[in-house]
Amino acid sequence: MSRLGLLQFTEGVDGRTLTEHAQKLEALGYDTLWLPEVFGREPAAACGWLLARTSRLRLGSGIFNVYARDPHAAAQIGNTLSELSGGRFTLGLGVSHPVLVEPRGHRFEPPARKMRAYVNAVRAVQIDGCQAPVRAPLILAGHGPKLMQVAADLADGLFLYLQPVEQIAHARQLLGPDKEIHAVVRTVRSTVASEARRVARAALGFYMQLPAYHRAWQTAGFTEADYANGGSDRLIDTVAPWGDETRLRAVVQSYFDAGATHVSLYPIHPDDDYQPGKAGGLLWDWPTLEMLAPR
């Protein structure tokens, strides 16, 4: 299998179609399908279902909201799904954002402190019964220096989303040579700049509002002017690159060259209907996935 994966919201298709999509992704040679967690399908259950209906494809929680379940539950999920799938599950964890945490009745805490305590608690859990022959890798989402340090200290790797290649290189320096770095790259299959940027701005509107991304982009040299008013051309072209197959394959390779061990696509479908305040699109962009499938 390759080191190329996919992050994809699954709520736009029914269960039978979702199963067929996962099997098609596996047949194309993709490594991992990451399932996000917002307010749709419960990702642990969905991962279990798809692991039982594939044979080589890895499934990952991309990303479990640490406010949604306690550390014991996360440890149990990691062990159970890795055990039953023969080691094909990756436990991705993230602190999410206040806008996604507080409506659930939780109080958002300082991210690095929350994550460090949570991961330490997950690591300390003693699982009863059968142990997974291969422990599920624990991958942390984090763009800021403090969360990256938690990943360097306690996790098996880091999950980065909407970040330029320079941030991947910085993360590799911080984490050292051995830990995994999973870079999620949004892409637009278009050679017309104005159309590609229009589609990207519609898809990224939710993220342009989030302070955590503002801080990460500032670290990478962007300013408030870049993420105001839907995003500057420079920022949009960086975090949602567009082009033909040659251009997009080169972008993917640049993330590997910068130090990513895995790259996961998150194609922006030109016909998707992105609603204000919603995080993800629902349409699977098969033309892009087939075009960029591992060779």
Low-confidence residues in the chain, pLDDT < 50: none
Task: Give dist(CA 143, CA 158) in Å, integer.
Answer: 9
Residue 279: per-residue pLDDT: 62
> How much is the pTM?
0.95
Both structure tokens of 274:
């992105």
Which residues lie across from 61 on neighbouring strands? Answer: 35
Q: How far is CA 96 from the centre of its chain?
A: 12
**Secondary-structure breakdown of the chain: helix, strand, coil percentages, each rounded to the nearest 5:** 45, 15, 40
Question: DSSP labels for 228-278?
Answer: STT--HHHHHHHS-EE-HHHHHHHHHHHHHHT-SEEEEEE--TT--PPTT-
* Under 8 Å between Cβ of 224 and 214: yes
Task: Give dist(CA 140, CA 92) in Å, integer.
Answer: 6
In the chain, what are the domains? 4-291 (3.20.20.30)
Maximum C-alpha span of the chain: 57
Residue 108: per-residue pLDDT: 86
Q: Is 4 helix (H, G, I), strand (E, B) or coil?
A: strand
* Under 8 Å between Cβ of 169 and 258: yes
Task: Give dist(CA 254, CA 265) in Å, integer.
Answer: 13
Both structure tokens of 140:
């942390």
Residue 30, C-beta contacts closer than 8 angstroms, at least 6 positions apart: 1, 2, 4, 5, 6, 57, 289, 293, 294
**In terms of Cα–Cα distance, which of 67, 155, 142 is closest to 112?**
142
Residue 253, C-beta contacts closer than 8 angstroms, at least 6 positions apart: none
Residue 277: per-residue pLDDT: 59
